[in-house]
Amino acid sequence: MRLIKVLTLITALFVVLCFSLTGCIKPEVYYSLSGQVVPYFPETSARNSFQRTAAYTPIFSSKDIEQGFMSNQFIVLFDRGFDSTIISGVSGVEILDEFFSRDGSVGYAVVKTNDPSSLSGIEGVKSVEPEKIFTLQSEESVPNDQHYPEQWNYPMIQMPQAWTIAKGSSTVVVAVIDSGARLDHPDLQGIFLPGYDLINDDDDPTDYDPVQSHGTHVIGTIAAETNNSLGVAGMTWGEYRAIMPIKIFEAGKETTAGILASSIIFAVEHGAKIINMSLAGGDDDVVAAAVKYAKENEVLMIAASGNKPYQRYPALYDEVISVGAVDITMQRANYSNYGPYLDLVAPGGSSSAQILSTGYSTDEGNTYSYMQGTSMAAPHVTGLAALLMAQGYAGKDGSGEEIIRKILRETALDLGESGWDPYYGFGLVQAYDSLTYEEERRPLLVQILSTSGEVIRETEVNPDGSFQFNGLTENYIKIRVWRDFNGNEEIDKGDLIGYYGYQESDHYLVWNPSLDNAETLSYLSSGSYELTNPLHFFPIIEFSE
């Protein structure tokens, strides 16, 4: 009995002693943790997610279309801190629409007046311009239900080889500003994120154009479902929900500068990191301001160079990648605009061999169609940019989009005169060469943090948004997802970032990244754990410590 008591006393002393020595008897915790990363989208109601006070449907007369701007209708661009109250009392001025970016750096009003000079010189009015008209840049053809062998454009830009490396990602959001999309198209199922219709001011971006279905065609090139024994192939393989359709054209081919500007800002503020604009028009201050806003927020913009000599914007802006068109012989298409602003060319087709993609026919229902134009060339560059961004080529030396622009230029197939020339820019995009280009990567990362914010472990997010950690030993952690777009190793404007447990839409509108936003997770025993909720990432539109 005494022996048992002695042994018990010795054991108790040993336990006390061991507790005083770090790790003496504490069992080691080894656990694995997995989860899903997805984009976060706030409510898409215009009044909740961005500041547009009214919506109007422009009516285009043949005279308006011919002259390129709306009669007696003007865009008033405000200085920061001013709004329509400064012009509301001006005689003969009717305010039709008003829009502001979330940070207040871009604000404008669409007005109707016979005397625009009455608005000049008012404090807070930055400029007054006619409301210009932008048009889609394609030429329609008879819809035809064909398959991949008819897509001559893909071998021309090395897509069969490129698909062995990359097939898109759910983490790269691409906004297509166009006529909307046939959301029910059988070859476009499972690719759409919430979109918006800025013509009717609602969240239904359905493309109802029974003749052309321009936006549906553009989207098919970027992201039609591939390898599904149906229809056509898309450059990003169509495996993930990554396309944000934004409708700014109704049944016709025209829209206004104000609507285009608000659509660019909407895309930026709803998480798009790439914007495709297969449209063109004239120079306009409000569109230029929206383009600058997107650039400041590290969003890559790609636009058609235009099919008519007087329609070159937004492609002519320095912030935008301008894309011209070549035909099946790799010669410049005769309709394709050229000049010192041209960056690249891509397949756009001609009357003898057009671009096949998803389309619409009132006779046959959802089907496929052939079109030609710089509208068809631009989404080839957009699709390739999305593949590059999915691979992590997203930032270096202070600019997230410049690295992709650099890769596209340096790997393009030189056509025409040696080096850059005004007819082909830097040349024809080459997908495989771009994806094998040696350059520093900036992938989307999931990071395990200590409760004080120290990075303990990190891993790249898989193309489908999944991630997993093995061999974790920390009892208390926080989780962050981050893509450092400008490569400065700091969380700042233009980056994508999120913390586990932080995803409320009310916070989105005033959100600043902070470790305090993150939920503290507790793992006190070994095992395999899966996060019950997805880890959302947000675009940083504004940032301040």
Would you name the residues annotated as active-site residues? 178, 214, 375
CA 303 remoteness from chain centre: 13
Measured CA to CA, the distance from residue 264 to residue 261 in angstroms comes to 5
Measured CA to CA, the distance from residue 97 to residue 303 in angstroms comes to 25
Give Cα separations from 99 to 75, 109, 325 (angstroms): 11, 6, 34
Residue type, 264: I
Give Cα separations from 2 to 10, 11, 12, 13, 298 (angstroms): 12, 14, 15, 16, 77
Both tokens assigned to 219: 């989207």
Measured CA to CA, the distance from residue 18 to residue 87 in angstroms comes to 78
Both tokens assigned to 192: 């759409």
- Three-state DSSP at 61 gives coil
CB 97 within 8 A of CB 56: yes
φ, ψ (nearest 5 deg) of residue 480:
-130, 145
In 30-90, the DSSP E strands lie at 31-39, 51-52, 69-78
φ, ψ (nearest 5 deg) of residue 409:
-70, -45
Q: How far apart are the first and last CA of the chain?
A: 67
